[in-house]
Amino acid sequence: MSEYKDQVMSEVQEELKPWEKALEYERSIAPLVDIYETEEEFVLTANLPGVSKEDVHLQLEEGTLTIFGKVNFNEALKKKYILHETLFANYSRSFKLSDSIDGSKIDAKYVNGQLIVSLPKHDKVKPRTININ
């Protein structure tokens, strides 16, 4: 029975993308996030220390924005720590987006360990000035 279970798990793991495997089998924590609003958009900033740009995954599916950052566990295990206060884990967090956000125009950049996501508002919810004749 154990061989069958191992084979099934192996097949499941082969079908998963690397970030999905990490979500399923590795430890993860929620990154610290700030969100602020301007007239044109909402801006989400997620802190992902120790994660390279290539290891950040951002997905929008059915109105939910998911952030994932994969850390290099092998690199951390090679270090001989004298003091180790930081929690070492992948980062994962999801946000249900409001209908006021135009999902087709979401943009993101990664700078100095911070993922910055621009969530543009639909034109229908942006403030506008009405001229009086």
Domain ranges of the chain: 23-123
Predicted pLDDT at 10 = 47
The CATH T-level fold of domain 23-123 is: Immunoglobulin-like (2.60.40)
pLDDT in tens, 31-50: 999 999 999 999 999 999 98
Residue carrying the six token digits 């994932």: 68
pTM, to two decimals: 0.75
Q: Render pLDDT for 72-131 as a digit per residue (tens, 0 to 9).
A: 878 878 889 899 888 888 999 999 999 999 999 999 999 999 999 999 998 777 777 778
d(CA 73, CA 86): 13
Angstrom CA distances, 37 to 20, 49, 55, 118, 119, stand at 31, 24, 27, 10, 9
User: E strands along the chain, which residues?
Assistant: 28-29, 33-37, 41-47, 56-61, 64-69, 90-96, 107-111, 114-120
